[in-house]
Amino acid sequence: MGLLEGKRALITGVANERSIAYGIAKSFHREGAQLAFTYATPKLEKRVREIAKGFGSDLVVKCDVSLDEDIKNLKKFLEENWGSLDIIVHSIAYAPKEEFKGGVIDTSREGFKIAMDISVYSLIALTRELLPLMEGRNGAIVTLSYYGAEKVVPHYNVMGIAKAALESTVRYLAYDIAKHGHRINAISAGPVKTLAAYSITGFHLLMEHTTKVNPFGKPITIEDVGDTAVFLCSDWARAITGEVVHVDNGYHIMGVFGREEEIKKEVYGD
Ligand SMILES: NC(=O)c1ccc[n+]([C@@H]2O[C@H](COP(=O)([O-])OP(=O)(O)OC[C@H]3O[C@@H](n4cnc5c(N)ncnc54)[C@H](O)[C@@H]3O)[C@@H](O)[C@H]2O)c1
């Protein structure tokens, strides 16, 4: 029996097969969850419908999280089709491309508002709206963060600030929803080549560096994130809430990078 057998999961943020949300959907499907999907813009509908079909689902609905009416409509859609909900996967972030070019000091007021609205407020809005559907079901919510929330990652800029706010939001929401028996956690994922990632100036260099210096010396996969999301949304994680779990092959534990090669050269001469 799968770890998520009998659970109904809403998956947001699938844009294509490289999306982290796709990796999560794959793992959830393997573990027996029923899936429903949202897409942000009409342009994405066809692809998301095809992807949903691959997971045996025809529950697909538009939800641009910057629009309150879309969020309300999403609730109506789930209410009509399922009547209840066990899991929400929030895998959404956005900031205008220009915001990744200079430094944080160059952040525009509009860019800041958009980044915070789409990447942070959306988690609050979705949680509040969908909460009644989770009543009595010990629901679980998972969102996606990145190390740029904790430390300076050049050019990640306003998204680093948004991710710090997102991680804090997870803790506050964890407190709020605990009284309903629900949990919420964040996965801080290592870099993955996705559409969103390519907005970040110099992303390939970031990816190269992170891959080289993490203890395993390899990149993470969307399946690594998916399998962690399964655990966090399963009953096995029943006492874990408000947590930020790093799925980064251990990158975040490192204090100094590249010393191994320097030491080898100096001490052993190779
Ligand atoms: N790729 C990485 O290296 C990485 C690392 C850590 C965390 N993350 C986070 O993972 C999450 C998913 O990103 P991804 O890397 O899979 O990229 P992605 O581009 O595949 O997914 C981002 C999703 O956000 C959706 N989105 C943007 N604006 C929206 C809106 N207004 N309404 C609804 N949806 C909207 C897009 O349609 C897309 O599906 C994001 O929160 C991202 O910050 C990514």
The per-residue pLDDT for range 108-161, each reduced to its tens digit, is: 999 999 999 999 999 999 999 999 999 999 999 999 999 999 999 999 999 999
C-alpha dihedral sign at 128, 134, 135, 139:
negative
How far is the first Cα of the chain from the last one, in angstroms, to the nearest whole number?
Answer: 52
Indicate the length of the chain as a whole number.
270
Q: Is the CB of 67 under 6 A from ligand 1?
A: no
Point out the ligand 1 atom lying closest to the alpha carbon of residue 189: 6
pLDDT digits (tens, 9 = 90+) for 236-245: 999 999 999 9
Residue 164, token pair as written in the block:
């710090």
- Predicted model pTM: 0.97
- For residue 260, which of 246, 249, 270, 247 has the smallest C-alpha distance? 270
What pLDDT sits at residue 262? Answer: 75
- Is the pLDDT reported for residue 270 higher than 70? no
Q: What is the pLDDT of residues 47-93, one digit of tens each?
A: 999 999 999 999 999 999 999 999 999 999 999 999 999 999 999 99
Tell me how far the alpha carbon of residue 53 is from its chain's centroid: 22
Is residue 146 annotated as a catalytic residue, yes or no? yes
Residue to probe by mutation, ligand 1, list 26, 91, 116, most atoms within 8 Å of CB: 91
Higher pLDDT, 201 or 219: 219
The CATH class, in words, for 8-268 is alpha beta
CB 14 within 8 A of CB 21: yes
CB of 11 sitting under 6 A from ligand 1: no
- Who contacts 230 (Cβ-Cβ below 8 Å, separation ≥6)? 3, 4, 27, 28, 31
